[in-house]
């Protein structure tokens, strides 16, 4: 198993609905980040949550972190067709590994107009 594992692998919803993606990891982390990748494009950083934080918001994004369960979730509210992309969680262990991200396999989100 990988450090970051995400579910579901694919999610298909209608515009206006909410999308929730989950990420689990195995070791203690310094921070966890979520990225989006549109087809054929680079990774876009969405949000970072530190290990001492439980919830963060950014626009229509809400991220939670449960360090006791080693899991995080990304909620996109009122989804739009433009949100169609792959979403990845990435963990940063800190310490001597600071800045070295470990990614999950990602969730492919499709938002139908």
Residues that bind another protein (CB under 8 A): 2, 4, 31, 33, 35, 40-45, 48, 88, 90, 92, 97-106
* Nearest distance from C-beta of residue 41 to another protein, angstroms: 6
In three-state secondary structure terms, 96 is: helix
Cβ proximity to another protein: between 20 and 102 the closer is 102
Give the pairing of strands 85-92 and 61-66: unpaired
Alpha-carbon distance of 14 to 59, in angstroms, equals: 19
Cβ proximity to another protein: between 34 and 84 the closer is 34
Cβ proximity to another protein: between 10 and 78 the closer is 10
* Nearest distance from C-beta of residue 78 to another protein, angstroms: 26
Cβ proximity to another protein: between 3 and 79 the closer is 3
The answer to whether 85 and 37 have CB atoms below 8 angstroms apart is yes
* Nearest distance from C-beta of residue 14 to another protein, angstroms: 28
Give the pairing of strands 43-50 and 101-103: unpaired
Alpha-carbon distance of 35 to 106, in angstroms, equals: 9
* Nearest distance from C-beta of residue 82 to another protein, angstroms: 18
Alpha-carbon distance of 9 to 6, in angstroms, equals: 7
């Amino acid at each position: 198993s990988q450090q970051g594992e995400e579910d579901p692998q694919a999610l298909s919803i209608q515009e206006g609905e909410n999308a929730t993606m989950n990420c689990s990891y195995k070791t203690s982390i310094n921070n966890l980040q979520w990225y989006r990748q549109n087809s054929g494009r680079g990774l876009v950083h969405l949000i970072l949550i530190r290990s001492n934080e439980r919830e963060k918001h950014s626009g229509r994004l809400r991220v939670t972190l449960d360090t006791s369960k080693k899991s995080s979730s990304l909620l996109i509210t009122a989804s739009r067709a433009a949100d169609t992309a792959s979403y990845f969680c990435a963990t940063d262990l800190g310490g001597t590994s600071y800045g070295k991200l470990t990614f999950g396999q990602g969730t492919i989100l499709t938002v139908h107009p």
